[in-house]
Each structure stands twice: as structure tokens, then as C-alpha cells.
Amino acid sequence: MRLIIIAILAFAIASSSLCAEETGNGFTQVEKQELQGLRQTSQTFRAVTGKVRPAVVHLRCTLPKNPASAVGKESSKASGEEATTTSVGSGVIIDPKGFILTSYHVVLFAEEIRVFLADRREFKAQLISFDAISDLAVLRIDAQDLPTVVLGDSEKAEVGDWVLAIGSPFGLQQTVTAGIISATGRDFSSGEDNPYVGYQNFIQTDAVIYSGSSGGPLLNLDGEVIGITHNNMAMAVKHKIVHEYKGLSFATPINFAKNVLESMKKGYAAQRAYLDGVGLLDVDTALAEAANLDRIYGAQVQYVKRNSSAERAKLRTGDIILAFEETEIRNKVHLRGLIACAEVNKEISLTVLRDGQEIQLRFNPEPGEFIVEDTIFGFSLSNLTRSLADVYDSESTEGALIYSVKQRGLGREIGLLPGMIIVSINDVNIPDINAYSQAAKRFSLDNPILFVVKYQNSIKRFGLIPKNREPKENVEAPEE
């Protein structure tokens, strides 16, 4: 009995000593290990932000009073009857030569764009090109040897992944927020009359994107940009998803930008691949069981229109598209997003379930047929679809939308800007880009050319006067 008591006392003394050692500073060994894990996460956050913050910029845009599509602007304010409006946003430097990627709604209708770098330098920026469907825009400043971000692969991002966002909420520059990916493939579009419907394949996150952070980067833990953020009010309210802030934010997947950035940097429109002439339906439980699928995935073809890219791809009604190249299709939005990120006219493979058998279809994703280039004036034009008309607060879908203007093009020289809607040329009405193409055939730089455009809910006129005209008139005037 004495031996038992001695053993118990010895164990108690040892345990007391061990606990004293383990609970130094009030933490047990297990708690210390948990804290160490949190410190490692913190160190990762610190490393990522330290790497990326120098390439994140603050944008300050001067807008006309009461600009169109005000729902898309952020942190707006005005004072006085004649005052202009200011909006703020963020962006990321994607090229050391001064190219910046941001959200288009941040710079929509901006009369002046000021860029503030992390090192406190300030520049005036020029809008080079934009893609209204994916809410992306490319700017440029006159600077060299700038720090840049690394573009990742947004297709690899999964729900539950840690992400960081950097931006300028309410003008507070270089602000970092953290969270996880809450969902992928969010789509705010509606209707089937636009071939780009469903390409708004947004990443949803609970990393807070405050007003003014739009256009900044959404980062993975490798410090790679996987999305360009936008404040939820700019999109969700416009599309009636929510009516006030609910703690959800969104980002355009970076893959939507990667395949069009080089052309956008040159001043061309973001001409994307698409699969037109097809109705798609998400696979549900009943359809999966009827097709003997082991799980619910894929997109079913409802119909195929004649003389469409879908018909040329040899798709048939009833086909279930299971994979795009090696990527398994989650739903119709996922499929359209993958096609939008594909290289135009480069052959791809679709895995299709037809009559119980998997087959491979190969086709070339075709470019959007509603974009044309004007080589004389150096801009690209698009038909004004209902979706684009909503962006520009236009009641009518008539006109030719100027999608991009080259930096040193003749169009920019006379004052034409991206976002303007051409309604007439030399008193000839322009209801669409076909009418513009016909009118352009009669252009002669030896004669005056008058553009009438709709911009910011007002009509503006821009004229080209041949350079050889004015000197001739000046010489003849004294003789009279």
C-alpha cells in the first residue's frame, strides 16, 4: 500500500512539473501548436501582401455631374451646382511599361483618371480598352520599370481556399482583407439573346470588398492574382441579386482577362470566343439518372440553330457536354466561361454523351461576329445589345458602340472615346455596325467627316477637317 501511495505522489509531482512546463505563458503544448499554425498563416498573409502591394494602385476618376449608370460608380460625391463627381477604385499593374488592369465600371464615363502608386507617385491614365461583359478595363500611365503582379489560374481556385484582397476602401489605400472563396460560377446575366450570356462566371468571396476596392486583386496564397474584384453593389444591386450589403463580394476570374490582355493593351476590343446558336440546360437529378451518369454534372443541349457555330461543332439536341478539353463541366455557366477563355479559332475538344456513348467533338471557337475594326480611325465597334445598352443606360439598342480606341489613332485625336455610341456620320443614321461599315466605305480624309455620338445621356459632335483645307483658306483670305 505504501508503494502505491509513493507511486501516486511521484506521478502527481511529475505531472505538476510537466504541466508547469507546458503552460508557460498560460498555454498548453497543444494550444502552442495551434498558435504556431496560426502564426504560419499570418506569415503567409504577410509575405503575399508584401510581394503584391507595390503593384496595387489607387484610382481617382473625375466624372460629369450625374453620370449615366451611376449604380456602377463607387464612393461618389459632389458639391455645388456645377461640381463634378469623383469616384475611387483600385487596379493592378500587369506590365512594367505602365499597363494597369481594373474593373470597367470604376472608369466608366471618366473624364479624367488619376493613378496613385504605392510609392506615392501620381500619374494621369488613359483608358486603352475595355470588356463590358466581364467588367474589365486596361489603362496606361507614362511610366517604366514598374512592379507587376503574377497572373494565376482561376480555374484551379476551389471553394474553401484562402484568398486576400487589396484595394482602397473609401480612399484608404493599400488596405488588405482576408477570407475564403465562398462559391464559383456565379452568374448575374439573364436572357438568351446575347451570345455572351453566362460569361459572368464570377468568384464569390467573403473577403470584404468595400466601396473603392473594386478593380483590385483577389490573391491566392502563392501571391498570384486569380480575380479582379468589384464591390457587390456595382453588380448585385443592378441585377437585383441583393438590395443592400450582405457580406458577399465578387471577382471576375483572371482567366477571363489573360487570353485578351495582349490585344487590349494594343487598343483592340476584347474579342472572345463563343458558341452561338445553342440552348443549354443544367443537368439535374432526373436527367443524370436517365443518362446513367454516376453524379450530377455537365450541360445538356436543348436546341441547335442552323448555320450556327454550334451546328458547325456537330452538336445535336439531347447531347450532354461532359468535358471541355480535360476539364469536367460543372454546369452551363462553367462551359460558357471556359469557351470565353479559349483562344479564338484554336481547335478544342468536347467530350459529349450521345445515345449512351461518350464521343469526342472537335471545333474551333469562333470570334464574336458583332465586333468590327475601323482601321482608318483606329477603333473597334460593337452592336449595342440589350445587355450593353443597360450598361450605358440607353433606352435604345440602335447605334454602334465604340469598344476601344488606339492610343495614337485618328479617332482618339479628334476626341472619340471608348463607351461612345455612334448614331450618325455625315447625317447618315447608324443603327448598327453593318450600317457603319457601309458608311465607312464612303469615307475620304480629303473631305470633312462629322460623327454624332451619344455619351453620358447627351449628344456630342466630333468632326474631322482635312489638314490641307485650313491652310488653303488662310492663304486665300488676304487676297479677297
Rounded CA gap, 383 and 386, in Å? 10
Phi/psi for 167 (5° steps) reads: -170, -160
Is residue 100 within 8 Å of residue 65, measured between CB atoms?
Answer: no
Among residues 214, 249, 309, 382, the one annotated as catalytic is 214
Our answer to whether residue 214 is catalytic in this structure is yes
Catalytic-residue membership of 135: yes
Cell numbers that stand for 350 in this block: 468536347
Residue 193 sits at φ, ψ, to 5 deg, of -85, -5
Catalytic residue among 58, 90, 103, 105: 105
Catalytic residue among 69, 87, 131, 135: 135
371 contacts 400 by C-beta, under 8 angstroms:
no
Strands 224-230 and 150-151: parallel
Catalytic residue flag (residue 349): no
Cβ 331 vs Cβ 185: under 8 Å: yes
In this structure, are residues 454 and 395 in contact, taking their beta carbons and an 8 Å threshold? no
Q: Cβ atoms within 10 A of the Cβ of 303, count?
A: 14
Question: For residue 81, what is its C-alpha cell?
Answer: 451646382
Give, rounded to a whole angstrom, the gap between the first and last alpha carbons of the chain.
135
Q: Which of 334, 325, 176 is nearest to 255 (CA)?
A: 334
In the structure, how many helices (H) and strands (E) does the chain have?
Answer: 13, 28
Contact (CB, 8 A) for 320 and 352 = yes
Residue 451 CA: distances (Å) to CA of 201, 341, 430, 462: 36, 34, 10, 5
Pick from 49, 227, 48: nearest CA to 153 = 227
Q: Which phi-psi region, left, alpha or beta, contains residue 43 (left: φ > 0; alpha: ψ -120 to 50)? A: alpha
Given 3-state DSSP classes, what are the helix, strand and coil percentages for the chain, each rounded to the nearest 5?
Answer: 25, 30, 40
Q: What is the DSSP string of 265-287?
A: HTT-----EE--SEEEEE--HHH
Which of 355, 350, 331, 410 minimizes the C-alpha distance to 378?
Answer: 410
Q: Fill in the DSSP letter of residue 233.
A: I
Asked if residue 245 lies in contact with residue 190, where contact means CB atoms within 8 angstroms, the answer is: no
Place of cell 495614337: 408
Residue positions annotated with a catalytic role: 105, 135, 214
